[in-house]
């Protein structure tokens, strides 16, 4: 879609940017999540289509609605430890943002982008995920991840616009305000963008790390999965299936199939995302087949190679599409836990070498006659 199709706020840059027009250079405009999705699309990775409501668009709403000076007044002088005062200020800010309307011009521009997304998706009122994408989020040394909100299976322009406002409001939770005070971030400088992305109708979804999150081993890729949307895995609501994959050979070296009692999916009658009980006979069924584990690990390798660092990746397998083209990457961000440890104290924090290196594994396979490619 031509860049000329992007809606523009007078004198302040684009209000909407399609993901394919985003990259790392657009970070200040579309935030970490949306910039990363643009990078992935440029790599050729399968990503559901969508667009970013830019920081300019979000700030235009806050300015037009007269909210900016109110935010400055409400957060001024508070300590990061004064939780009660921050809770009161945050509640008042969020109520203002969620209740005050956007200008007709701004609403029309964002709703038009949603209409085009629905046409691209071939679905009327296409279901979308509406996610915040803060400019300081998911950056090394400033882990804002998880402090803003995500809303799944949102349908219709009015609902989408409402949840865009809710995402903007989520920048002002007490926890987020306290974090910025503690880290010395200026509230006015931590702008927010909102990503609107077509939902993958996930049969299975989850997370993938290109470094072992438990011990920092970079020779493996770790994948956690459950039936339905990935929120049950991300939130810790369920113990997911767990796969450890050798990064060189892409062989599955560890496999733990858990009892998955609940999953997150859509209620087709209400068109709302909710948590349901997994049928008993299905609870111990492997949620990802081995070929999907291998394909995911291969995709994880390519993403890590592109970024040059360990990555934390969310993915989904779309049940509406045929095998071979139904695995989608929903977002990818730098892994922060082990990266921070290694940066702070490389010698002390470096993980112990794995008991079996990748080369040892290959040689052992060749000597035993096992196929290792």
Gyration radius (Cα) of the chain, Å:
22
**DSSP per-residue letters across 178-217:** HHHHHHT--TTT--EEEEEEEPP-EEEEEEEESS-TTT--
**Rounded alpha-carbon distances, angstroms, from residue 210 to 218, 297, 299, 336:** 7, 8, 10, 12
Residue 364 has pLDDT above 70, yes or no: no
**221 forms bridges with which residues in the sheet?**
245
Average pLDDT in the 82-110 region?
A: 95
Q: For residue 139, which of 355, 367, 340, 369 has the smallest C-alpha distance?
A: 340
Distance linking the first and last C-alpha atoms of the chain:
40
Burial 351-371 (b: 16+ CB within 10 A, else e): eeebeeeeeebbeebeeeeee
3-state secondary structure of 256: strand
Is residue 96 within 8 Å of 75, Cβ to Cβ? no
Provide the pLDDT confidence category of residue 185 given band limits of 50, 70 and 90. Answer: confident
Q: Which CATH number fits domain 202-368: 3.40.50.10420, 3.30.470.20, 3.50.50.60, 3.40.50.1970?
A: 3.30.470.20
* Closest of 202, 205, 1 to residue 113, by C-alpha: 1
Can you give the pLDDT at residue 184? Answer: 81
Percent of the chain with pLDDT over 90: 69
Comparing C-alpha atoms, which of 276, 255, 250, 257 is closest to residue 265?
276
The listed CATH number (3.30.1600.10, 1.10.10.10, 3.30.1490.20, 3.40.50.300) that belongs to domain 3-198: 3.30.1490.20
Mean pLDDT computed over 245-271: 96
Q: Which of 272-276, 325-329, 352-356 has the lowest mean pLDDT?
A: 352-356
Q: Is residue 76 very low, low, confident or very high in pLDDT (cuts 50, 70, 90)?
A: confident
C-alpha angle with apex 202: 298 to 163, nearest 5 degrees? 115
For residue 59, how far is the Cα from the chain centroid? 22
Token pair listed for 28: 């200040």
Burial class of residue 20 in the structure, from the number of CB atoms within 10 Å of its CB (0-12 exposed, 13-18 middle, 19+ buried): middle
Q: Do domains 3-198 and 202-368 have the same CATH topology?
A: no
Query: What are the two backbone dihedrals, phi and then psi, of residue 12, each rounded to the nearest 5 degrees?
Result: -135, 20
Give the start-to-end residue ranges of the domains of the chain. 3-198, 202-368
Residues 210, 309: Cα–Cα separation, whole Å: 9
Write down the mean pLDDT value for the chain: 87
Q: How confident is the model at residue 304 (pLDDT cuts 50, 70, 90)?
A: very high
Query: Is the pLDDT confidence value at 21 over 60?
Result: yes
């Amino acid at each position: 879609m031509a860049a000329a199709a992007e809606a523009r706020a007078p004198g302040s840059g684009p209000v909407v940017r399609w993901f394919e027009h985003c990259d790392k250079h657009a970070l200040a405009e579309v935030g970490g999540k949306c910039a990363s999705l643009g990078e992935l699309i440029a790599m050729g990775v399968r990503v559901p289509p969508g667009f970013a409501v830019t920081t300019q668009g979000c700030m235009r709403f806050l300015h037009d609605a007269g909210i900016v000076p109110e935010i400055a007044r409400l957060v001024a002088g508070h300590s990061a430890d004064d939780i009660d005062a921050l809770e009161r200020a945050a509640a008042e800010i969020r109520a203002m943002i969620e209740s005050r309307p956007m200008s007709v011009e701004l609403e029309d521009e964002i709703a038009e982008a949603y209409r085009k997304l629905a046409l691209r998706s071939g679905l009327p009122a296409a279901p979308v995920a509406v996610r915040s994408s803060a400019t300081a989020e998911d950056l090394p040394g400033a882990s804002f991840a998880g402090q803003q909100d995500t809303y799944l299976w949102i349908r219709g322009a009015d609902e989408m616009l409402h949840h865009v406002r809710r995402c903007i409001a989520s920048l002002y939770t007490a926890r987020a305000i306290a974090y910025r005070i503690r880290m010395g971030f200026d509230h006015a400088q931590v702008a927010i963008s909102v990503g609107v992305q077509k939902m993958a109708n996930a049969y299975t979804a989850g997370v993938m790390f290109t470094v072992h999150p438990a011990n920092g081993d970079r020779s493996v890729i770790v994948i956690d999965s459950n039936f339905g949307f990935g929120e049950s895995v991300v939130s810790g609501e369920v113990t997911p299936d767990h796969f450890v994959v050798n990064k060189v050979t892409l062989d599955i070296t560890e496999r733990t199939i858990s009892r998955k009692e609940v999953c997150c999916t859509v209620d087709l009658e209400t068109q709302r995302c909710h948590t349901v009980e997994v049928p008993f006979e299905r609870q111990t069924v492997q949620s990802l087949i081995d070929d999907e584990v291998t394909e995911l690990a291969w995709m994880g390798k390519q993403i890590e190679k592109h970024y040059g660092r360990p990555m934390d990746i969310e993915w989904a397998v779309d049940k509406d599409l045929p095998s071979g083209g139904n695995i989608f990457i929903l977002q990818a961000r730098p892994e922060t836990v082990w990266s921070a440890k290694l940066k702070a104290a490389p010698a002390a924090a470096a993980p112990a070498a794995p008991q079996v290196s990748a080369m040892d594994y290959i040689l052992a396979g060749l000597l035993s006659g096992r196929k290792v490619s």
